[in-house]
Amino acid sequence: MIAEIIAVGTELLLGQIPNTNAQIISNALQEIGIDVYYHTCVGDNQERLMDIFKTGFTRSDIIILTGGLGPTRDDLTKETVASYLNLSLKVDKYSLGKIKSFFARRGKPITENNYKQALIPEGACTIENKKGTAPGVLLNNDGKVIVMLPGPPTEMEPMLKEVVIPYLSQRCSSTIISRVLKFYGIGESALEEELKDLISQQTNPTIAPLAKMGEVTIRLTAKAKDRMTAQNIIKPVEDEITRRVGDFLYGFDNDTVEETVAKLLFKLNKTIAIAESCTGGLMAHKLTNIPGISQYFERGVVSYSNRSKQELLKVKADTIKEYGAVSEQTAKEMARGIRLTSDTDIGVSITGIAGPDGGTPEKPVGLVYIGYSDSDSEYAEQYFFNGERIDIKERSVNSAFHLVRRMIKSLGD
Amino acid sequence: MIAEIIAVGTELLLGQIPNTNAQIISNALQEIGIDVYYHTCVGDNQERLMDIFKTGFTRSDIIILTGGLGPTRDDLTKETVASYLNLSLKVDKYSLGKIKSFFARRGKPITENNYKQALIPEGACTIENKKGTAPGVLLNNDGKVIVMLPGPPTEMEPMLKEVVIPYLSQRCSSTIISRVLKFYGIGESALEEELKDLISQQTNPTIAPLAKMGEVTIRLTAKAKDRMTAQNIIKPVEDEITRRVGDFLYGFDNDTVEETVAKLLFKLNKTIAIAESCTGGLMAHKLTNIPGISQYFERGVVSYSNRSKQELLKVKADTIKEYGAVSEQTAKEMARGIRLTSDTDIGVSITGIAGPDGGTPEKPVGLVYIGYSDSDSEYAEQYFFNGERIDIKERSVNSAFHLVRRMIKSLGD
């Protein structure tokens, strides 16, 4: 079955917002084995929308429209689809009741144009919108499935995942599932070399490597009649890959390295403190995005000035004088200092030159030292990163989390 | 002139990446007065791409394609466009030289498929790609403009802004410019009430308010024969708005509140230090994204534990015991403590409950105190924020920057 996605809204064509709905819907359809062949955005214009819908209805089996379901005159999606299919619009009482009580709760009278939100094409089913007033629409016509969902992603996404995807997957004869393996510390070509026999023989599952910002991922995708069969097709290939290059594997699917580090801290009951210079608090921010981390993360210090490195981290004035604030020696003393002053199991530090200014021929922009300290070991690694100030901050923090991950794992051994 | 944007790449249809290029290009075209009527995404499939291009070439004056310019067999954009227009492809020597030297620098032999990147349709101009190997293409045919740009946004965007937009703006008979005024501390309806006579009379410039995450913006858009005339149309309306509600105005266009704060620090030569609890370093991270801030930002402390609040910020144990770590009193002592220990002009603090756990009926998730301290004044404000952990962090930091902005301004008076 071929699907296409039509986003309706002039704000998309003005570039005011990105069309994230198309990505979310495509991803969800791909997982149930439905191929998406086209995305289209069109403005709040009935004639052009009609044209686009007509093309979609002619070439695809499933047409998912987003946006244009609201109360204003600009909102034309249901009207246009109904008109193309020669269907009348009728009031959906349940939706109207919801809209009325929405206004009643706010103590406001319901305005005339809000009735419009409760109109749906005859013969269609509504999809309840728990986060807003405009219901979605599900319609079968001439063997095709037409779905209309509201534009705001927070409203659209639950309706997609709770109703549309389960409905469409019933109609599919096969399931596609993907498993992403995430690697760090091995290049794309080295990884492909290790797996080249598997890659050259691939059919089901397919094996697709992808390199991105210092990381390499492998996506295994299997197609089968049901989810469990697909999982059983992936399993032996995943096991074989793990056997060969598992040392570099740090996570699966949407795992982030900070989540992996947090899970290891939870599991091994280790506490951590972070001393950052050039990354300015980004590492602490990322780690503290994880719920429950407050039991394991004791403190962070953003020691931007030399004085703060000395006062808060006990870095020696002589070390900074002799080697500089951006040096292996300072990184080590920062890591040791934050660990000892905070009395944690692990101390980690980042010091470098994020630019755009401040670089010298000896210490260019992008030079970063990452320090690590626990009761058994202490060292610092040197890195050179490319990019803008924010890229250097991101890459430094990413590398620091990977360093901690490697080191904590050995603490657990 | 009507434009449309065609993105080529199966990865878009699989939902692996969002089509941010369409947004960036639409935004840039809108600013020079070119209307975009359609966005389309199509996969790496010659037949479907040909169909989509044909439709675009028929209905639009400007067709901008992104993606599909790389070296692999999947990359078909130039081939398909040339084939539809009956043009042959020829080698662009300059581009080929660049590709050869790219491989030479890496000490690798150039592979056969990389020659493909230097092929362009006869009669076309190349657009230099400074961030990658695939050049862009600019082509006039039958009164239409066809532009082909690479898919990676970091390559696409400079080519768009340095070559394509200047080229297209020459061809336009009018210019549209926008000016965004950013407000904080006033609601959308109150702002509209203050400006309702201006809004009801609007024609050129148009006046469009928009509310978003605790902020309200007003976009003034003027259309005129040239840039200066358009600016002169906007100026008196901007001045009148500033006269009425300028107290709430904090920035323009893409200004962020942290940039506004940094500019004030630079201008008034004031130093700052930041003590964060629930925001985990996000405020320090945002401030340190600004180049040159190291002269004014002395240090940050992420005092996640009570112990670190006492040790690093001199918060009294009794204060935490009596009022709790999340309280007005603790916020004040944190702000004072970070200012005095770091010897800066300004100290700012955030303490709160970011969730999802840790809330109580008295102190629910979303309760946040923001503290401020300078040599003349010291106080803390209470906030309640909705949303997920990350939303609460973002909103807290945003409010803290606005509090600092208001206070620094009075320091300068």
Q: Which of A46, A277, A287, A304 to mutate to test the interface with B (most CBs of B within 10 A)?
A: A304
Mutate to test the interface with B, among A62, A253, A288, A351 (most CBs of B within 10 A): A288
Closest CA to A199 of A210, A209, A185: A209
> Which chain A residues are within 8 Å of B297, Cβ to Cβ?
280, 304
Opening angle at CA B18, ends B14 and B23, nearest 5:
140
Whether chain B has a CB inside 8 Å of the CB on A266: the answer is: no
A293: pLDDT strictly greater than 80: yes
A15–chain B Cβ distance below 8 A for any pair: yes
Which residues on adjacent β-strands are paired with residue A148? A65, A137
Q: Which pLDDT does position B413 carry in this prediction?
A: 60
How large is the average pLDDT for residues A80-84?
A: 97
| Chain B interface includes A10 (CB < 8 A) | no
**Which pLDDT score is estimated for B278?**
97
Taking CA–CA distances from B2, the nearest residue in chain A reads A13
**Which tens digits make up the pLDDT trace of A231-246?**
999 999 999 999 999 9
* Average pLDDT of the residues of chain B: 92
- Residue B171 confidence class, pLDDT cut points 50, 70, 90: confident
Q: Strand, coil or helix: what is B120?
A: strand
pLDDT at B169: 85
Range picked from A116-125, B46-55, B70-79, B251-260 for highest mean pLDDT:
B46-55
pLDDT at A413: 60
| CA–CA dist A297, A300 (Å, integer) | 8
* pLDDT for B133: 84
**Pair A245, A318: CB distance under 8 Å:** no
In this predicted structure, the answer to whether residue B308 has a pLDDT above a threshold of 90 is yes
CB atoms under 10 Å from CB of A206, counted, come to 15
Q: B192: which DSSP letter?
A: H
Which residues from A are below 8 Å from B259, CB to CB? none
Question: From the candidates A5, A11, A13, which should be mutated to test the interface with B, based on the most B CB atoms within 10 A?
Answer: A13
Do the Cβ atoms of B373 and B347 come closer than 8 Å? yes
User: Given an 8 Å threshold on Cβ–Cβ distance, is B291 in contact with A389?
Assistant: yes
Asked whether the predicted pLDDT for residue B125 surpasses 80, the reply is: yes
CA angle B211/B217/B220 to nearest 5° reads 130
Which of A4-18, A97-111, B7-21, B274-288 has the highest average model confidence (pLDDT)?
Answer: B274-288
A166: Cβ–Cβ under 8 A, 6 or more apart, which residues?
A: none
B-interface mutation test, from A4, A305, A311, A388, most B Cβ less than 10 A away: A305
What are the tokens at B322? 């009596």
**Res B46: pLDDT:** 95
Residue of chain B minimizing CA distance to A294: B304
- pLDDT interval class at A276 (50, 70, 90): very high
**By percentage, how much of chain B surpasses pLDDT 70?**
99
Q: What is the 3-state secondary structure (H, E, C) of chain A?
A: CEEEEEEECHHHHCCCCCCHHHHHHHHHHHHCCCEEEEEEEECCCHHHHHHHHHHHHHHCCEEEEECCCCCCCCCCHHHHHHHHCCCCEEECHHHHHHHHHHHHHCCCCCCHHHHHHHEEECCCEEECCCCCCCCEEEEEECCEEEEEECCCHHHHHHHHHHHHHHHHHHCCCCEEEEEEEEEECCCHHHHHHHCHHHHHHCCCCEEEEEEECCEEEEEEEEEECCHHHHHHHHHHHHHHHHHHHHHHEEEECCCCHHHHHHHHHHHHCCCEEEEECCCCCHHHHHHCCCCCHHHCEEEEEECCCHHHHHHHHCCCHHHHHHHCCCCHHHHHHHHHHHHHHHCCCEEEEEEECCCCCCCCCCCCCCEEEEEEECCCCEEEEEEECCCCHHHHHHHHHHHHHHHHHHHHHHHHC
Half-sphere exposure of B395 (CA within 13 A, CB side): 22
Sheet holding A367-373, edge to edge: A378-384, A367-373, A346-352, A272-276, A297-302, B297-302, B272-276, B346-352, B367-373, B378-384
Q: Chain A to chain B, count of Cβ pairs less than 8 Å apart?
A: 218
Q: Which amino acid is at B16?
A: Q
Q: How close B90 comes to chain A (CA, Å)?
A: 30
Question: Is residue B144 helix, strand or coil?
Answer: strand
**B217 at the A interface (CB within 8 A)?**
no
Span B284-297, average pLDDT: 96
Q: Is B262 on the interface with A (CB under 8 A)?
A: no
For residue B292, the chain A residues in CB contact (below 8 A) are 357
Residues A196-254: pLDDT tens digits?
Answer: 899 888 888 988 887 776 788 898 988 888 889 999 999 999 999 999 999 899 999 88
Report pLDDT digits (tens) over A296-339: 999 999 999 999 999 999 999 999 999 999 999 999 999 999 99
The ipTM estimated for the assembled molecules is 0.77
CA distance A49 to chain B (A): 10
Contacting residues for A206 by C-beta, under 8 A, at least 6 apart: A219, A220, A221
- Say which residue, A4 or B15, is predicted with more confidence: A4
CB proximity under 8 Å: B 287-306 to A: 287-289, 291-292, 294, 297-305
A 340-369 residues inside an 8 A Cβ radius of B: 341-342, 354-358
**Chain B residues near residue A22 by CB distance under 8 angstroms:** 12, 15, 18-19, 41
Instruction: Give the per-residue pLDDT at A412.
Output: 64
- Do B37 and A307 make contact, defined as CB atoms within 8 angstroms? no
pLDDT at B299: 98
Strands A144-149 and A215-224: unpaired
**Rounded Cα–Cα distance for residues B164 and B136 (Å):** 10
State how beta strands B378-384 and A206-212 pair: unpaired
The answer to whether residue A137 scores a pLDDT higher than 80 is yes
- pLDDT, one tens digit per residue, over B320-333 is 999 999 999 999 99
Determine the Cα angle at A1 with ends A90 and A8, to 5°.
45
List the single residue in A with minimal CA-CA distance to B41: A39
* Share of residues in chain A with pLDDT > 70 (%): 99
Contact B254/A at CB under 8 A: no
Taking residues B297-326, what's their average pLDDT?
Answer: 97
Domains parsed from chain B with CATH numbers: 2-170 (3.40.980.10), 176-252 (3.30.70.2860), 257-412 (3.90.950.20)
- Are B302 and A304 in contact (CB < 8 Å)? no
Using a CB-CB cut-off of 8 Å, the residues of chain B touching A301 are 299-302, 312
Residue A177 confidence (pLDDT) above 90: no
DSSP B68-82: --SSSTT--HHHHHH
The answer to whether B49 faces chain A, any CB pair under 8 Å, is: no
pLDDT at B213: 67
Question: Quick check: A280 and B303 CB within 8 A?
Answer: no
B231-270 pLDDT, tens digit per residue, is 999 999 999 999 999 989 999 988 999 999 999 999 999 9
Is residue A394 over pLDDT 70?
A: yes
A16 touches chain B (CB under 8 A): yes
Smallest CA–CA separation between A109 and chain B, in Å?
A: 17
More confident residue, A51 or A33: A51
Per residue in A39-78, pLDDT (tens digit) is 999 999 999 999 999 999 999 999 999 999 988 778 899 9
Question: What is the reported pLDDT for B412?
Answer: 64
- Give the pLDDT mean for B40-55: 96
Name the residue among B38, B42, B284 with its Cβ closest to that of A302. Answer: B284
Question: What is the rounded CA–CA span in Å between residue A349 and residue A369?
Answer: 8
Predicted confidence at residue A109, as pLDDT, reads 77
At A225 the pLDDT is 82
Beta strands A206-212 and B35-42: pairing type? unpaired
Q: Is the distance from CB of B359 to CB of B368 less than 8 angstroms?
A: no
pTM of the model: 0.77
Cross-chain residue pair B301–A299, CB shorter than 8 Å: yes
- List the single residue in A with minimal CA-CA distance to B219: A16
What are all long-range contacts of B100-108, with beta carbons under 8 Å and residues at least 24 apart?
B102/B133
Instruction: Give the model's pLDDT for residue A23.
Output: 96
Q: Are A129 and A136 in contact (CB under 8 A)?
A: yes
More confidently predicted of A224 and A150: A150
The verdict on a CB contact (< 8 Å) between B274 and A302 is yes
Cβ A302–B299 below 8 Å, yes or no? yes
Q: A298 and B279 in contact by Cβ < 8 A?
A: no
| Statement: residue B185 has pLDDT above 80 | yes
- Give A4's contacts in chain B (Cβ within 8 Å): none
Average pLDDT over residues B4-22: 93
Residue to substitute from B5, B299, B315, interface A, most A β-carbons within 10 A: B299
Partnered with residue B182 across adjacent β-strands are: B217, B251
Q: What is the model's pLDDT at position A359?
A: 92
